[in-house]
Amino acid sequence: MAGPHTAMVLAAGLGKRMAPITDTMPKPLVKVAGKPLIDWGLEALENVGVERAIVNVHYLADQVDAHLAKRETPAIIISDERNELLDSAGGIINALPKIGSDPFYVVNADTFWVDGPKPNLVLLAEGWDDARMDILLMIAAKDQATGYDGRGDFHMDNDGRLRRLGIGETSPNIYAGAAVIHPRIFAGAVAGKASLNRYFDAAIATDRLYGRRMEGLWLTVGTPDAIGEAEAAIARQTVNG
């Protein structure tokens, strides 16, 4: 398919692990390599022609609003969660009237990547198969990742189909904080707090959750100490091309 023209940027989290920086600043505005985290994702969306980005806000929302007001492309639409933090899926469900009926990108505002030869959002769009998929996740391998020390997120077969890890299992496959999702997966959803993991599991149950391997470098900045590690990795990637 041609890439989605709409994206949902999840930017409402509290960022507690990033304290004390986030005592006075929302995590999406924390700078890495001189650029606020949220701008890494918005620039990636702009570079692949996304026209509209719906951004949910909650914690220190006025700061996020003021920062995003300076951006011309993609056009920013605020989804206000000041009264209640709705979690990842709840935030999307709340914004569905703004998103529309076509597949859309989802990008976490606090993780980002450095592209390889082809933009990773293009790889996602090229990998989307509407007949087989409800959700397509960008997948990083552990050797592409900086700031990650978990056991992995999914097993992925040769066709890209994903399944959960069992007890005690590990995997090199990490959900890299970007996806293409069809809004039909939320049909009948009730407004309120909900995690995307619920919908990942629903898609797994019908063999409609898939992954696409990313290229380049994936970074997650969960704590203040991780900022320097991410900046060093970006510098190495820049030097090595």
List pLDDT tens digits, range 25-74: 999 999 999 999 999 999 999 999 999 999 999 999 999 999 999 999 99
CA distance 93 to 37: 24
CA angle, corner 138, sides to 137 and 141, nearest 5? 125
> CB atoms < 10 A from the CB of 71, how many?
16
Q: What value does the mean pLDDT of the chain take? A: 94
pLDDT tens digits, residue range 159-198?
999 999 999 999 999 999 999 999 999 999 998 999 999 9
CA angle, corner 167, sides to 165 and 173, nearest 5? 25
Question: Mean of the pLDDT values across residues 129-139?
Answer: 97
Task: Examine the pLDDT at 81 and tell me if it is beyond 80.
Answer: yes
Beta bridge partners of 53: 7, 76
Residue 240's pLDDT band, with cuts at 50, 70 and 90, is low
20: Cβ contacts below 8 Å, ≥ 6 apart: 224
pLDDT at 110: 84
The percent of residues above 70 in pLDDT, for the chain, comes to: 98
